Amino acid sequence: MHTSVPDDWQPWRTPSSLEGRRPGRSDLERASLCGRGREDVLPYPDDELCRGKIRLLIVGINPSPWTIAVNAPFARPGNRFWPSLHRAGVTETVVDASRGLSSADERMLAERGLAMTNLVSRPTARAAELDDAELRRGGQRTVSRVSTLLPLPVAVVGITAFRKAFDLPRAVVGRQDTNQLNGWPDQTSLWALPHPSGLNAHETLSSLAEHWHKVWADVEGGAANRAKPR
């Protein structure tokens, strides 16, 4: 299952400045104070160029200092994001992002049509440090970007942040009704998933993988529908 990225496609994102090592305490302190987010994981740095090349857009809450230090999503050891994706068949390998994404990781993600961004770019040690206004602005930006990127589904990771970002206080985990979201494209479905942090005791690796399995089935179904002649 591969997208149409050309054979000569090359990763464009900035590699980790730590040159393959995990961040230490001083690295994390600098990352937490830098005030900038990590680069999005997209096949190209321009949203218009990515249009039609993304099967699944995964939206995190905001980056942790570890993620900022290595410029890779869900990089902190103990986070079950990457193992659950692999167990669900979303990725071909288990990505170890704790030292940053390798060129092979970047290519695999681009070929699989996987893209990743965040609701909020400001790094914090815990998502609870964000205020509701930041999350709402992030939800608005996400709707605008999705209208350009046109992924098949969008999966937002973190049900509490999802409710605040999209002003859907009664939302539950699973596929969402997008009729309540002004500007959301009709052809793109929306999912809210549990946060994969190891601190989330309500979920196991198996249960997280089951959620991703359902999302990936939606990806494959949407791809088949797009391929049908009109």
> Does residue 163 lie in a domain region?
yes
- Residue 41: what are its φ and ψ, rounded to 5°? -95, 105
* 123 found inside a domain: yes
pLDDT tens-digit readout, 142-158: 999 999 999 999 999 99
Residue 34's pLDDT is 84
Indicate whether 44 belongs to any domain: yes
Q: Is the pLDDT of residue 2 over 80?
A: no
Mean pLDDT of 159-175: 97
CATH of the domain at 163: 3.40.470.10
Task: Please indicate, yes or no, if residue 141 is contained in any of the structural domains.
Answer: yes
Q: Does residue 25 sit within a domain?
A: no
> For the chain, what is the domain count?
1
Of residues 38 and 89, which shows the higher confidence score? 89
Tell me whether residue 15 is in a domain: no
Mean of all residue pLDDT scores within the chain: 93
**For residues 189-198, average pLDDT:** 95
Spatial separation of the C-alpha atoms in residues 199 and 148, rounded to whole Å: 34
Q: Is the pLDDT of residue 230 over 60?
A: no
174-175/189-193 β-pairing:
antiparallel
Residue 229: pLDDT band with limits 50, 70, 90: very low
Q: Check pLDDT > 90 for residue 225.
A: no
Helices (H), 34-191: 47-50, 65-70, 81-87, 103-112, 132-149, 159-165
Q: Which one, of 153, 152, 156, 116, lies nearest residue 135 by Cα?
A: 156
Query: What tens digit of pLDDT does each residue of 43-91 get?
Result: 999 999 999 899 999 999 999 999 999 999 999 999 999 999 999 999 9
197: containing domain: 40-227
| CA 143 distance to own-chain centroid | 14
Q: Give pLDDT, residue 3.
A: 63
Is residue 26 situated within a structural domain?
no
| In-domain check, residue 34 | no
pTM: 0.94
Q: What is the pLDDT of residue 80?
A: 97
